[in-house]
Structure 1
Amino acid sequence: MSDAQGRSQASSHRSAQHEGSGIHFQQVTLIGYGAIGRTLFARMAGHPTVRITHVVLSESHVADAQAALGTAATVCTEVPPETSLLLECAGHAAIGSHVLPALERGIECAVLSIGALSEDGLPEKLAEAAQRGGTRVHLLAGAIGGIDAIASARLAGLDSVTYTGRKPPEGWRGTPAEQVADLGTITEPTVILEATAREAAHLYPKNANVAATVSLAGLGLDATRVRLIADPTVTENIHEVDVRGAFGEMRITMRGKPLPDNPKTSALTVLSALRFLHNRTSSVTI
């Protein structure tokens, strides 16, 4: 038996050891306990076959989080060895500090901070780490829909993929948009960036996840075009995707509502992770 096979079987055993009364029980370690992590934990409470048993945080946040969670989960600074599934919702830095080492150890991982993959070489590092560990890494769709259709259409060949992100002017405060336009006075939709998905992710890292997800499902970071717009006529964050190829044409428009705890985060991001977790033990998945 190879080392990779051994690690993979050990990972499966870590999940199976929690079975009881014939019911498969999937344990999950969560990286991060911000707005997304807190909402995930609350929504998964009482799930019959999936439980978040550990939460990984930096040392400075452990005590407060443990006090908030009580005995519902253990808060720690490193991914525990008994982890069978790791779900990241902590931001880009967690990919290098926790996800890559976990994959090397044979732990299956799911990633929400897809924008981190705009970093040169990081997608390849994730794939290589998963291969060495004999496991898999799942890139979750997050705040955008149609990813399954884009990835399917890619198999027949794509001609173009364009992502347009539209926000109210105030939604671009604290970004390079402030050097492009006077956000306080514009009266009509104003394009603040036209670039590749990779360039957009570097300049607007906090807005990179959707563009990166679309590009990784389709033509890649360097062939996907991105337009970012400050629009005083809207009050929501709007995602628009235009895809053309051998399959035909597809246009997707999404007006996502934010998380109550964090207006900068789409509620669909949490729902995407919830769907992934529910599917882990469901008899029928879609």
Structure 2
Amino acid sequence: MSFVPVSALLRDAENEGYAVGAFNCNNMEIVQAIVAAAEAENAPVIMQASQGAIKYAGIDYIVAMARVAAAGAKVPVALHLDHGTSFEQVIRCVRAGFSSVMFDGSKLPTEQNIAITRQVVAVSRPVGISVEAELGKIGGTEDEIVVTDREALFTDPEEARYFVEQTGVDSLAVAIGTAHGRYKGEPQLDFERLSKIKSLVTVPIVLHGSSGVPAEALREAIRRGVRKINIDTNIREAFVGTVRQVLDGHPDEIDPRKVLGPAREAAVEIIREKMRIFGCAGKARQ
């Protein structure tokens, strides 16, 4: 199966009231884990690569690994650029074979964010590639993107309406209290703000920084309109934690397969758990 646009997956999610999981891939084992989990749960899935992943593995390796995984899958798989920060980077991903891109202009003045996002849409939509954008700043760190607590501004609902109308994006990432990386305490999401945004915009809503958000809070966000949920940190924790356990128990082990294999299985389990929380398990359309 070839890659599908994220917009197609979110359209079904909107119609049926669930969220599709978007999971960051950083190496071959995590690519395999994402698709294995989707197959096990019969769930549509979004595999996404950030700037850090592209810099680490190379864009051609990322696309090739994801394409092999998707080709053998019986569930719909999208390949999405996570937090693209320039028009040029987005174009490189479009040319490389991504089926969906995100331009993150949230640190820019609104009109500049709109102008670049419109350029991205103009280039991507004619070739069937969906576009996500971001309005408001999400706290924490995502690879090279750093936002301080003081700078982390929640999305203004009226500005969200204006932004979507002006850009024509397929989905919108909003800031309602989540953060990238590990939380120091339990995040408090602004559900009323989320409901207001949902009432004013006509596109699916995306929640970034969702690792560490309690399951019931995620379910409430879905009830209020979130249709794509990003998970990265939880996968890293499961993967690296298992590597440490294996090496602690077998300090003389030198076979990478015996170290990374169990880590891959740990990643599969955490991804499957998230899919069940999001309600996308059993929702794959053949």
> Which TM-score band (shorter chain)?
0.3 to 0.5
Tell me which of the two structures has the higher relative contact order, counting C-alpha pairs closer than 8 angstroms and 6 or more residues apart: 2
Could you tell me the TM-score, scaled by structure 1's length? Answer: 0.35
Say which structure is richer in helix.
2
Say which structure is richer in strand.
1
Q: Which has the larger radius of gyration?
A: 1
Could you tell me the TM-score, scaled by structure 2's length? Answer: 0.35
